[in-house]
């Protein structure tokens, strides 16, 4: 199997895992987003540590990769906190779609950070993606739009984080190390809040958050590996399968149905992604 096909398979796997994670996060109920984030990352931290030990992977990272690793962790943490807030306050498929603006941000920041060429066609596609996002955000002059804006910021944070994942992959930093450092950083950042503002949880809530952590671990390892196998511009379209998974899961489990404007936004964003992918295929 070629590296590109491996990247495609892994990114679809990660899309399902992240859709499942969002469902578990919503099912965990009225808990602070920071507390949910801590448990999600704590499970991923343990999972990453086990993988590192079993595969005898060295924790040593070259000095030149320290800053990119820190930035990947920082922006990834921002992305998760924003996404969890959006999941708690929006229809799950809407929150997932806003988070899936990340591939377009990958294209933008790959130009600035990785110096990867962005064609005029890709630039036009990015503009259409943001137009589609407006149908999901439904901007207005009241505070009800705030969760959607925060959700879009989550997509921005994730896009920057995944760009640094590709940079680190190009420098030979292994996926489990990236996930371990990111999870450790996120836990340390959210720990002070947990210590001073912990909200008691039922056993059911704990189980849902553990499920979210396991699903997130699968998604994190898969997407980290995917972006180390192939450039974001070649495989990012397949990340949109998460919207299909999220819409079906949220309908059958939560009984949620997006409104017509959201569906229009989905169609524009996913349609733009498909056109961009077909154009890349034709160019190749």
Task: State pTM to two decimals.
Answer: 0.83
Q: Decide: residue 73, CB within 10 A, 0-12 exposed, 13-18 middle, 19+ buried.
A: buried
Taking a C-beta distance cutoff of 8 angstroms, is the pair 15, 236 a contact? Answer: no
Domain of residue 243 covers: 3-283
Number of domains into which the chain is organized: 1
Residue tagged 């990114």 (tokens): 11
Average pLDDT of the chain, as a whole number: 86
pLDDT on residue 13: 92
| 24-68 pLDDT per residue, tens | 999 998 889 899 999 888 988 998 899 899 988 888 888 899 999
Q: Does residue 224 register a pLDDT over 80?
A: no
Pick from 99, 208, 115: nearest CA to 148: 99
Query: What is the band of 162 on the pLDDT scale with cuts at 50, 70, 90?
Result: confident
Residue tagged 């450092």 (tokens): 181
Pick from 165, 167, 138: nearest CA to 261: 138
Query: What is the band of 154 on the pLDDT scale with cuts at 50, 70, 90?
Result: very high
| 5-27 pLDDT per residue, tens | 888 889 889 889 989 999 999 99
**Average pLDDT score over residue span 203-223:** 88
| 98-130 pLDDT per residue, tens | 887 877 888 888 888 888 887 888 888 888 888
Pick from 211, 85, 223: nearest CA to 146: 85
Tokens of 45: 């931290």
pLDDT on residue 156: 93
d(CA 132, CA 137): 9
d(CA 262, CA 145): 13
């Amino acid at each position: 199997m070629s590296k590109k096909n491996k990247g495609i398979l892994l990114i679809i796997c990660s899309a399902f895992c992240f859709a499942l994670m969002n469902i578990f996060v919503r099912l965990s109920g009225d808990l602070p987003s920071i507390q949910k984030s801590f448990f999600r990352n704590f499970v991923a931290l343990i999972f990453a540590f086990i993988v590192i030990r079993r595969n005898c992977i060295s924790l040593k990272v070259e000095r030149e990769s320290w800053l990119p690793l820190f930035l990947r962790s920082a922006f990834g943490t921002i992305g998760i906190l924003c996404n969890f807030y959006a999941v708690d306050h929006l229809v799950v498929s809407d929150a997932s779609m806003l988070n899936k603006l990340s591939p377009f941000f990958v294209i933008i920041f790959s130009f600035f950070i990785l110096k990867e060429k962005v064609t005029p066609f890709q630039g036009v596609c990015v503009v259409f993606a943001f137009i589609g996002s407006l149908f999901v955000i439904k901007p207005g002059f009241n505070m009800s739009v705030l969760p959607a804006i925060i959700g879009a910021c989550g997509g921005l944070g994730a896009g920057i984080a995944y760009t640094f994942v590709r940079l680190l992959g190009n420098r030979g930093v292994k996926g489990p190390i990236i996930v371990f450092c990111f999870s450790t950083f996120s836990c340390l950042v959210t720990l002070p809040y947990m210590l001073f503002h912990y909200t008691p949880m039922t056993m059911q809530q704990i189980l849902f958050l553990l499920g979210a952590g396991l699903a997130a671990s699968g998604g994190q390892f898969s997407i980290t590996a995917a972006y180390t196998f192939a450039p974001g511009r070649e495989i990012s379209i397949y990340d949109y399968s998460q919207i299909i998974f999220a819409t079906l899961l949220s309908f059958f489990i939560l009984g949620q149905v997006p409104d017509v404007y959201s569906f229009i936004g989905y169609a524009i964003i996913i349609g733009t992604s498909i056109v961009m992918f077909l154009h890349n295929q034709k160019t190749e």
